[in-house]
């Protein structure tokens, strides 16, 4: 469907069909043998579909979604059969120098970012439809992408999306490392958002000054430093068996950044008031718990577990009060992540730690109860079509993020053989959580009143006027800063931003496909991270690993 359709050479269909069938049989046999031989995981009861069977629509959607942040290069896919070979290049929005770029509408950009401060900030991701780099949401993107790979890397690998995801993650973490030139200095933004939003131009055409912004001991930024620590700690686990030297470097920076964030506690929104316009923070306690949780998983250092279960956990945990998971509030994510410790490693903890972990798990369970549509404590904040509704701007962010947490929690239940959760006296199973997650994913992919996919490049109908500078301007156009004729054009975007998850519908479930409609039509990199996480979890039903290390 959509971008996943592929042209195949004539005359090979019989052979190709036979080979595909044989490959499927071999793959199924390998998976079966692997499951039978894996004695470290208890056998969890299956939910709909046999374990190991890939749901093709989610695989197709994932192949589209990963393209939006595969930033550094054209992805070359080699499919090799006896009588047939095919090369396929996928493309995406990128910051920095593109390697092996074969996409005509993209080229090198922002190569001098950070040069005025003698730091190399040429990598990283543009935030959305603009040409800004905002490190706070970008680091969240990396953390969620790492979490996805750690939980669902095997499934992603089956559909050949693991390596692209790892490449995209490293493109961000390389940038984040460079953004941290010394222990108590972190660069957190590239570009002037006021100037940037007065321009409509391709990133390749930028000539304006791109100032960098930093936090330090005199102007701290606890949440952005802690989120960056979370990103680098989680990524260190992803790369631990791939590149141990790089993993160690990531972990070193993560530890330093957590110390910086924790020692100099002040919101970056207070230290640098200008950030309030775009990515204002509502508090830093959630990021401290989130970062400490990831550092505990990465290091098994008990000081991080004591941090989240001790006085800081009590101060910032907001136990018993469900929250929405987003780039600004990581509490629900931390609660689910720490539930993993409660599910799989509880016996090794002290009584105080067990009690603290139990509070995280109980609150995570309350989050789940709020999501299940027929739960007594279900949120009433939904559209008539069943989509979780929280915000008019970027409406899909919260339901997709909530569904990602639900699928992760359901898999923790399966692996631990936890039969049910309790919601005000009613019981619900892992299958119930999975069905909720599927409902949100299916809505995004076209099962909605508009009968359109909100994931660009997937399905037969998706937004054509995405609010995105690079996608809206022809590759050979010479616009300079003032290319507003392309913003105002009534023609669809000349370039398809495959994998972009747009903001989504209004509460009445309508969508206005207009390039000027940034409320509904602007994609973000963190939207891509959460939809990749959700789709990866829905690919198949299987146990998750009991430990990331």
Residues annotated as catalytic are 467
Query: Contact, 378 vs 505, CB < 8 A?
Result: no
Query: Contact, 152 vs 162, CB < 8 A?
Result: no
Q: What is the DSSP string of 80-118?
A: E-SS-EEEEEE-----BPPBT---TT---B-TTTTGGGT
d(CA 337, CA 350): 19
d(CA 296, CA 314): 17
Query: How far apart, in Å, are the Cα atoms of 483 and each of 94, 191, 319, 469, 487?
Result: 20, 18, 50, 9, 7
DSSP state of 242: T
Quick one: which H or E segment has residue 186? strand 186-190
In sequence order, the β-bridge partners of residue 203 are: none
Give the closest residue to 519 by CA, choosing from 500, 506, 509: 506
Give the closest residue to 210 by CA, choosing from 105, 130, 107, 278: 130
Q: Which residues of 152-167 are buried (b: 16+ CB within 10 A; e: fewer)?
A: bbbbbebbbbbebbbb
**C-alpha 275: how far from chain center:** 22
Burial-class residue 270 by CB neighbours within 10 Å (0-12, 13-18, 19+): middle
- Pseudo-torsion of CA 61, 67, 70, 76, nearest 10°? 100
Alpha helices in 395-523 (DSSP H): 397-416, 430-444, 469-472, 484-488, 518-521
d(CA 47, CA 435): 10
d(CA 84, CA 306): 57
């Amino acid at each position: 469907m959509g971008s996943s359709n592929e042209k195949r050479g004539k005359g090979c269909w019989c052979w190709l069909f036979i080979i595909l069938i044989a490959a499927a049989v071999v793959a199924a046999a390998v998976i079966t043998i692997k499951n039978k031989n894996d004695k470290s995981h208890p056998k969890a009861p299956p939910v709909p579909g046999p374990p190991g069977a890939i749901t093709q629509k989610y695989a197709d959607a994932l192949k589209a979604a990963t393209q939006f942040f595969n930033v550094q290069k054209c992805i070359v896919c080699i499919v090799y059969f006896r009588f047939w070979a095919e090369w396929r290049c996928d493309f995406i929005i990128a910051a920095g120098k593109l390697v092996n770029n074969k996409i005509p509408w993209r080229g090198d950009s922002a190569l001098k970012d950070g040069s005025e401060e003698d730091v190399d900030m040429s990598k990283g991701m543009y935030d959305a439809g603009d040409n800004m780099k905002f490190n706070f949401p970008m680091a969240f993107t990396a953390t969620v992408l790492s979490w996805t790979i750690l939980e669902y890397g095997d499934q992603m690998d089956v559909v050949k999306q693991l390596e692209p995801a790892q490449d995209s993650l490293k493109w961000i973490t390389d940038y984040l490392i460079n953004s941290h030139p010394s222990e108590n200095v972190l660069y957190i933004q590239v570009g002037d958002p006021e100037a940037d939003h007065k321009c409509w131009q391709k990133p390749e055409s930028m000539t304006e000054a791109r100032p960098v912004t930093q936090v330090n001991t005199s102007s701290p930024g606890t949440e952005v430093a802690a989120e960056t620590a979370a990103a680098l700690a989680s990524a260190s686990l992803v790369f631990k068996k791939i590149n141990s030297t790089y993993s160690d470097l990531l972990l070193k920076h993560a530890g330093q950044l957590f110390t910086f964030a924790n020692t100099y506690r002040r919101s970056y929104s207070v230290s640098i008031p200008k950030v309030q316009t775009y990515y204002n923070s509502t508090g830093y306690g959630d990021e401290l718990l989130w970062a400490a949780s990831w550092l505990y998983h990465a290091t098994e250092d008990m000081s991080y577990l004591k941090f989240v279960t001790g006085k800081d956990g009590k101060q910032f945990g907001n136990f018993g009060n469900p929250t929405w998971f987003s780039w600004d509030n990581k509490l629900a994510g931390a609660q689910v992540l720490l539930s993993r410790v409660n599910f799989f490693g509880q016996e090794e903890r002290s009584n105080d730690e067990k009690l603290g972990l139990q509070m995280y798990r109980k609150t995570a369970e309350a989050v789940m109860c709020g999501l299940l549509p027929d739960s007594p404590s279900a949120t009433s904040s939904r559209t008539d079509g069943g989509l979780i509704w929280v915000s008019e701007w970027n409406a899909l962010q919260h339901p997709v993020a909530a569904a990602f947490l639900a699928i992760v929690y359901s898999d923790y239940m399966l692996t631990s053989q936890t039969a049910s959760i309790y919601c005000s006296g009613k019981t619900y199973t892992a299958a119930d959580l999975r069905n909720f997650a599927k409902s949100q994913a299916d809505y995004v992919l076209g099962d909605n009143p508009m009968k359109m996919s909100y994931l660009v490049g997937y399905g037969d109908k998706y937004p054509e006027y995405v609010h995105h500078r690079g996608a809206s301007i022809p590759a050979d156009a010479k616009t300079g800063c003032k290319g507003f004729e392309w913003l105002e054009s009534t023609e669809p975007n000349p370039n398809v931003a495959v994998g972009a998850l747009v903001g989504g519908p209004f509460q009445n479930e309508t969508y206005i496909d207009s390039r000027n409609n940034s409320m509904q039509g602007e994609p973000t990199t963190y939207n891509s991270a959460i939809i990749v996480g959700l789709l990866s979890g829905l690919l198949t039903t299987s146990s998750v690993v009991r430990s990331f290390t």
